[in-house]
A and B are shown apart, each in its own frame.
Chain A
Amino acid sequence: MNQPYDLVRARPEPEFEISVDGAPVPVIPGQTIGAALHGAGIRSWRTTRIGARPRGLFCGIGVCFDCLVTVNGSPSLRACLTEARPGDRVSTGARAGQDGPGGRPGDGGGHGTDGGKTVNGR
């Protein structure tokens, strides 16, 4: 039994899978990548650039930027805001979001042009 599901009497649609560093993670349609990872017991998915500290969800609502991931080659997406899509390939660890503000062009794993460059208003 699953208490939160019972609580709201959920009748969830069939799960789909995304792959996280090659391993399958189940998702209920509509869940964010961050929620799916956290729910699957994956608590961290990148390391910081100075202290190499593990990071995952912190604020859960898109303000702390701790949860950055690379999805299908697009780096620096906030996992807590990004709704998962069937077949998404999420890569974690040393790559995603390591480069901080401004991004590093080309870190997106050959996905294209300036997809990774982000301006944060400084």
Chain B
Amino acid sequence: MKPRYDLAVIGAGPAGVAGALTASFAGLDVVLIDAAPRPGGQYFRHLPQGFNAQAPGALHHGLDGFTRQWETLRARADVLLGHKVWAVERAEGTVTVRCLEGDREERPRTVTARGLLIATGAHDRPLPFPGWDLPGVLTAGGAQALLKGNLVVAGRKVVVAGTGPFLLPVAAGLAGAGADVRGVYEANGRLGLARHPLLAAGKAGEALGYGATLARHRVPYRGRHAVIAAHGEDALTHVTVARLDSAWRPVSTRTVECDTLAYGYGFVPQLELPVQLGCATRADADGSPVVTVDGGLRTSVPGVYAAGESTGVGGAVLAEVEGRIAGRSAAADLGRRVPPLPRLSRRRERLAAFAKALLEAYPVRPGWQGWLRDDTLVCRCEEVPLSAVREAQDLGATDARSVKLLARPGMGWCQGRMCGYAVACLAGEDPAAPRRPIAQPIRLGDLAAPTRSPLEG
């Protein structure tokens, strides 16, 4: 069967849209697929039309540039929004992308192409701690998604905590939208980055902007502090904030009243689709598995490319640059004339070096494991407490996989997306790339005849 498209792109974030547009300009017949009803991915998450926002750019740096790319792309390529990809296969030079269209009544839909660009981004990386499953405790990205995608401010009195530069836009966004942000608690040193020579890479301006917003709203920003427990009966009422030593062991604690906690300890790239295809992965600077790519963003599987957070967490600007490089490689590999553009590769190298420096400046230190109590849930879905993980280890489960088999963390709805990192740390290893034959949950009816084969294999 002849594939319908030259290139299928999964993900309408900065990486996917730039990749699809570049490939289309280079002469490829392109289809772009995203599960979300609107384009933008995480960073450029769009508001629904229903808001008639006259100044949507107030919530994102650089929205105009993205919107121009999107409008241009829409005029020259097929765009399938609201399409969840649950499986991809490749045989005889054709990639088959299996989707479900719609958010309630789901219709199966299959797309075929000669090449595939995977730009599926990342999700937050939470750490477990006592009370992390109380209503009112959200991931930092979740709070950001409520604001950017729904104009809902996550809470009235909000604490922001975790590690990494992403805490700043989250806190600034909440404060600017009217929340009383009680504090930003950065578990690493807040000056870790300022000393880095690469700060000259141009990110300083944006960081200073967030800093100014926080200062204007009198939001304290403390390094070497973390939220180590959340409290409340049925919903969050206060958190325990600890000053930490360099290994993240609590030195002293105090209580901060709040109705909402937005927290995150970095991001986890979503790798189920590249893993399904057999793409090689590697451990990134922070130990997270990411897709291995060459300088042209080619994965180890011919005709399959990856860009954006899938190749390593680096933010929206790097994602866009990678998308452009990947789009060019896909076109070149299909015989289109694509003149070399060394400038673009140099830009990627600079941004990637900066991203690596960030990961190294904001590591997760082992002391967090001491914040857990025996009854602290490690896995939210299967409600597995720390004591059950320790019991499994006492029974001889020495690696994360055996812990999972014995104690069931990561065996529930989320398939370990929320607890996988923590379980790997507790087992003393780097997290493994996820093996999930179905990337998105699907209803049994949809697995009937036309889409049965991938499950049988």
Q: Chain A: how many interface residues by the 8 Å CB criterion?
A: 59
User: CA of A11 to CA of B51 in the docked complex: distance in angstroms?
Assistant: 6
* Nearest residue, chain A, Cβ from B417: A63
User: CA of A109 to CA of B152 in the docked complex: distance in angstroms?
Assistant: 31
User: CA of A62 to CA of B59 in the docked complex: distance in angstroms?
Assistant: 21
Determine chain B's interface SS by DSSP, over half rule. Answer: loop
Residues of A within 8 A of B153 (CB): 3-4
Interface pair B151/A28, CB less than 8 Å apart? yes
A90, CB-defined interface residue at 8 Å:
no
Interface pair A120/B418, CB less than 8 Å apart? no
Interface pair B418/A63, CB less than 8 Å apart? yes
Residues of B within 8 A of A58 (CB): 126, 133, 137-139, 142, 380, 418
B54, CB-defined interface residue at 8 Å:
yes
Residues of B within 8 A of A56 (CB): 135-136
Out of B135, B177, B445, which one reaches A4, CB within 8 Å?
A: B177
User: CA of A69 to CA of B70 in the docked complex: distance in angstroms?
Assistant: 33
Residue interface mask A16-32, B partner, CB < 8 A = 1 = 00000000000011111
List CB contacts (< 8 Å) of B34-73 with chain A. Answer: 35, 37, 42, 47-56, 58-59
B412, CB-defined interface residue at 8 Å:
yes
Residues of B within 8 A of A11 (CB): 51-52, 54
B234, CB-defined interface residue at 8 Å:
yes
Residues of A within 8 A of B415 (CB): 120-122
A87, CB-defined interface residue at 8 Å:
no
A39-B152, A43-B235 given. 13 additional CB < 8 A pairs? A9-B55, A10-B54, A11-B52, A12-B52, A31-B152, A32-B150, A35-B150, A38-B146, A38-B152, A59-B138, A61-B42, A82-B104, A113-B445
List 5 contacting pairs A-B, 8 Å CB cutoff, sorted by A.
A2-B178, A28-B48, A31-B152, A64-B417, A118-B443
List chain B positions with a Cβ less than 8 A from chain A.
Answer: 35, 37, 42, 47-56, 58-59, 103-104, 123-124, 126, 133-139, 141-147, 149-154, 176-178, 234-235, 380-383, 411-415, 417-418, 436-439, 441-445, 447
